[in-house]
Amino acid sequence: MTVLTALDYAAVLVFALTGALAASRKQLDLVGFAFLASLTALGGGTVRDLLLDRNPVFWIADPTPLGIACGAAVLVFFTAHLLESRQTVLTWLDALALPIAVAAGVRAASETGQSVPIVLIMGIATGCFGGLLRDIVANEVPLLIRTGKLYVTAALTGAGAYLVVEALWPSEALALAACIVTCFALRAGSLRYGWGLPVYKPRPPRG
């Protein structure tokens, strides 16, 4: 297994854990856990593959990610009660999955020779759509639109870091590392220390 396949699998695993945690908050059964874990873990990459017309979709070509997602579902089903706060763990695992998935998306798009804007978009799409689908299906306010938290911004910056490093050094490993570190640092800093870009502030009502 190459380092790159390992990355793909890691993104699937961590996103699957978040999907299973969302299922635990809805008190679903084991199959419901596996469904939501798989939807979250495979959703972003599936959107990317459909948009790029990559054929077959990655988890149809190799069903290992499906197995990983189901394994993660089983693990969470039997251990989630040990956690103090499932929502906190979900948010932090999501923060860990996002950078890995962005890196996987950027690499997949850059392999197929896409232009810079499309590579950036595919990084964002791969990183963001899994969690977005999870939140929509679980009927929660998407993490992605929470006010004052970096999410798409972290994904975009990570994808940009990949492209900059790859242009300057001929090392894919370094580019992937830069992507993951930058994206995670921004997201984690946002969650932990409130880092953020200025957000839109509506005009205060006139007195």
Minimum distance between the CB of residue 188 and a copy of itself, rounded to whole angstroms?
17
> Least distance to a copy of itself from the beta carbon of 45, Å?
12
Cβ-based nearer residue to a copy of itself, 33 or 165? 33
Q: What is the rounded (10 degree) CA torsion for 145, 150, 154, 155?
A: -10
Please state the closest distance from residue 80 (CB atom) to a copy of itself, in A: 7
Select from 166, 189, 32 the least CA-distant residue to 103.
Answer: 166
Minimum gap (Å) between residue 146 Cβ and a copy of itself? 8
Please classify residue 144 by burial: count the beta carbons closer than 10 Å to its beta carbon, then call 0-12 exposed, 13-18 middle and 19+ buried.
Answer: middle
Residue 123 contacts residue 106 (beta carbons within 8 Å): yes
Provide the minimum distance between the beta carbon of 191 and a copy of itself in the complex, in angstroms, as a whole number. Answer: 15
Binding site for a copy of itself (CB under 8 A): 23-24, 26-36, 38, 46, 50-53, 55-57, 60, 63, 66-67, 77, 80-82, 86, 114-115, 117-118, 121, 124, 128, 132, 136-139, 141-142, 144-145, 147-148, 150-153, 156, 196-203
Distance set, CA 88 to CA 18, 72, 167 (Å):
10, 18, 37
Nearer to a copy of itself, 142 or 189 (CB): 142
Closest to a copy of itself by CB, 29 or 111: 29
| Residue with the two structure tokens 């956690």 | 83
Which residue number, 153 or 174, has a Cβ lying nearer to a copy of itself?
153
Phi-psi region of 112 (alpha: psi -120 to 50; beta: other; left: phi over 0): alpha
